[in-house]
Amino acid sequence: MSGRLEGKSCLITGAGSGMGRAATVRFAREGARVVACDLDLDAVRETVAMAEAAGGRALAVRADVSKESDVREAVKAGVKAHGRLDVLYNNAGIMPAGDHSVVDTDEAVWDKVLAVNVKGVYLVCKHGIPELLAAGGGSVINVASFVALLGCTVPQDAYTASKGALIALTKSLAVQFGPKRIRSNAICPGPIETPLLSAWLLKEPAEKAKRLNRIPMGRFGKSEDVVNLALYLASDESSWTNGAALVVDGGITSNYF
């Protein structure tokens, strides 16, 4: 049986950890050739080894998405290795501890979050979309967040603003490049049990219980919950899904009380 991504070449950022790692392994298992990018070369090599152990093909590339030269080289390396690019999966993102309300967040923290979470997506699209056009079309998947859709009394304003910007950018890309057979969609995950979240939230029982109480499905999400949606968006199954901001959050954003 052939995989759902057979013949596709997919660039995934932030592939050294969490959802990017899970996506790399799953996409490779579904027949994709993955260009797995991360800041941390050892981590992304480990991801590639996992993808290969699962019978897939992937290339490990060190790239800081906020640096244009790194992104340009990553795209080039991917095209050289796999001959084309069909999917840009903008997954890399940061949520630093110093990100609070606008009134008490340092300028350096704000700039860093926007540089990775928004400029990083701009750069991957700037260098990657011409390759998708050359391939005759494709799919751009931008990982936003449920926090772009709801206010939060425990603010992370730089992160929230960055994810809101991604939803807006996704819609602009959808309209610009839809006629050229490139669809662009955003995923808005709720809290997912990955290193990003576990580093603080899941270690503090009171904070964990407060958030769990808001989730109608009664559990935090798992990387697979998000990767299943990304797989649909990367595959031809989503050929008429364009410009959407798709929520995977166990019902949080539908919950009043």
Which amino acid belongs to residue 85?
A: L
Q: What is the closest distance, in whole angstroms, from the C-beta atom of residue 2 to ligand NAP in the complex?
A: 28
- R_g over Cα of the chain: 17
Q: Which residues bind ligand NAP (CB under 6 A)?
A: 13-14, 16-20, 38-40, 43, 63-66, 91-95, 116, 120, 143, 145, 189, 191-192, 194-197
Q: What is the closest distance, in whole angstroms, from the C-beta atom of residue 87 to ligand NAP in the complex?
A: 16
Which amino acid belongs to residue 95?
A: M
Q: Considering beta carbons, is residue 135 or 247 the nearer one to ligand NAP?
A: 247
Q: What is the phi/psi pair of residue 21, to 5°? A: -65, -45
The H or E element that residue 188 is part of is strand 182-189
Alpha-carbon distance 179 to 7, whole Å? 22
**Residue 89: active-site member:** no
Q: Considering beta carbons, is residue 194 or 242 the nearer one to ligand NAP?
A: 194
Q: What is the closest distance, in whole angstroms, from the C-beta atom of residue 223 to ligand NAP in the complex?
A: 7
Catalogue the long-range contacts made by 43-49 (C-beta closer than 8 Å, 24 or more residues apart): 43/16, 43/17, 44/15, 44/16, 46/16, 47/15, 47/16, 47/20, 47/21, 48/24
Q: Considering beta carbons, is residue 65 or 182 the nearer one to ligand NAP?
A: 65
Are the beta carbons of 112 and 62 closer than 8 angstroms?
no
Q: Which of 122, 159, 232, 256 is catalytic?
A: 159
Q: Considering beta carbons, is residue 46 or 133 the nearer one to ligand NAP?
A: 46
**What is the pairing mode between strands 9-13 and 87-90?**
parallel
Catalytic residue positions, numbered: 159
